[in-house]
Structure 1
């Protein structure tokens, strides 16, 4: 039995070596090899012939070719120059060459161009920052069909009260509608990753909610530090209180307001929580409306989270 396994392993390595590419684990490189899953992801994106598509981590171009067949243009972001060379070699001399634009470098540091759709097998270590880079990008795109590590995908769609419900869940769902599309086993990749994957569809809310996202993010950061504790306990922490006090004093000076006599940030915060009937609420079971109401209650009293 071990001999058969060893032979299979060496066959896989030889196959990769034939392409002249050794996959770089630090880039999270796992090439999606199953054409049915690639086809399904492209179909779920509902590509139009006029669409500009952003693809992140195109690898050797298995999905890129399918996207080029259906769209006006594909902008592929790739950090590994060897993969870029492989991709460009693949389209050279074909009608697709003129439709492909390659951006070499870290997508998190790049200025993204305009795009209608984003389709990607996302390198898992950049999942969270990438989701918010896309959702805060303007102008808004139509939708994204993205493959993530299964637990990350489940966090994206988790609802209040679910075990996996967290700050990622509520921050994403404020800005977008998120749907689970399909499960993808690890054997659909070369080399297979250690975890299972899921594909999700993310559709930005258009127009976006009329909320300062930095303020919102600051509030949910405090509430979810200990998602099972009450808000009253979360807001008692000295680091939280000193940050809110600093922000309140800045708000007063910018608006030519005198600081109230015997000012006490702790009492002020407790009063706001009490009047909003929120002191005994726990982040794990609060929905978007609960947090919007709480943010308005704090902002109305001049307390800000940025």
Structure 2
């Protein structure tokens, strides 16, 4: 029976349709499931945490490979279905909760970071806050293989000078190496979404890509630069979310030989780090 037929049977027997408010679009292309597992490089010693387990299609692939599988699902009705399918498996744990409200650190106990993998077909309305939360656990997670709206995926992997490059690109690059490994069409999901999807692999860095003395200032500078992305860097910072002495900023630009008339979208993460670190040094 195809995965699409399984979804139809579930709807027919339960009267329960995919929940739009929870962003439920089930992956129904069975050929993609082993590819997701393969991209995560799951080994028999691994802990795999699946976010948004849904009807358990991907879960079935994971439990056959991983040492332990933790499925997180916010929908209580789907949790009942998952429990019926997988409760007899010794190394399977089901958590009914919103991943954004969970303290994930307790799940990692006893595992080396390289053996912790996160997999998920994320609800697109919550994908950005979920990824920011996961990145904060870079000391505990080896990699994430996650489904995003293609537009967001392009922003995640964008480089300086690209129209999709922005604060999200730099923030993720700070914590992880990102690559798009697969593009999927809307017809590979049910219900069929209005947007295309892309599978992104994030290999988390045990230490951030650049050394930053003040992370708060670093990210404030980045947000300011892209809040007014058509403005020149100096003007964007002056009108952004951070209160800085612009005369000192001129000195910082001169010291670093960075042209303040450039736009933020042309700066590399290393240049933002240099600016932030120099501001920190000159104000302390």
TM-score (norm 2): 0.88
- The offset of 1:223, in angstroms, is 1.2
Bigger-Rg structure (1/2): 1
CA shift in 2, pair 1:14/1:118, >3 Å: closer
- Aligned pair 1:271/2:251, yes or no? yes
- The aligned counterpart of 1:136 is 136
Asked whether the equivalents of residues 54 and 76 of structure 1 are also in contact (C-alpha less than 8 Å), the reply is yes
SS at match of 2:238: coil
- The aligned counterpart of 2:274 is 293
Asked whether the equivalents of residues 140 and 204 of structure 1 are also in contact (C-alpha less than 8 Å), the reply is no
RMSD: 2.0
Mapped partners of 2:9, 2:62: distance in 1: 28
- The aligned counterpart of 1:74 is 69
CA shift in 2, pair 1:192/1:239, >3 Å: closer
Asked whether the equivalents of residues 177 and 204 of structure 2 are also in contact (C-alpha less than 8 Å), the reply is yes
SS at match of 2:64: helix
Residues 220-277 of structure 1 show CA distances to partners (whole Å, capped at 9, x for unaligned) of: 1111111232111112228633xx4xxxxxxxxxxxxxxxxxxxx3322333233333
- Aligned pair 1:60/2:55, yes or no? yes
Asked whether the equivalents of residues 120 and 146 of structure 2 are also in contact (C-alpha less than 8 Å), the reply is yes
Asked whether the equivalents of residues 147 and 199 of structure 2 are also in contact (C-alpha less than 8 Å), the reply is yes
Give the gaps of 5 or more residues in structure 2: 1-5
- The aligned counterpart of 1:3 is none
Mapped partners of 2:155, 2:83: distance in 1: 36
CA shift in 2, pair 1:20/1:266, >3 Å: same
User: Would you identify which runs of 4 or more consecutive aligned residues in structure 1 move more than 4 Å?
Assistant: 11-15
- The offset of 1:189, in angstroms, is 1.0
SS at match of 2:119: strand
Asked whether the equivalents of residues 57 and 79 of structure 1 are also in contact (C-alpha less than 8 Å), the reply is yes
CA shift in 2, pair 1:134/1:50, >3 Å: same
CA shift in 2, pair 1:238/1:53, >3 Å: closer
Mapped partners of 1:127, 1:170: distance in 2: 17
- The aligned counterpart of 1:222 is 224
Alignment of 1:226-305 (within 5 A): 226-237=228-239, 240-241=242-243, 244=244, 265-278=245-258, 279-302=260-283
Mapped partners of 1:297, 1:169: distance in 2: 22
- The offset of 1:19, in angstroms, is 4.7
- Aligned pair 1:16/2:11, yes or no? yes
Mapped partners of 1:72, 1:13: distance in 2: 31
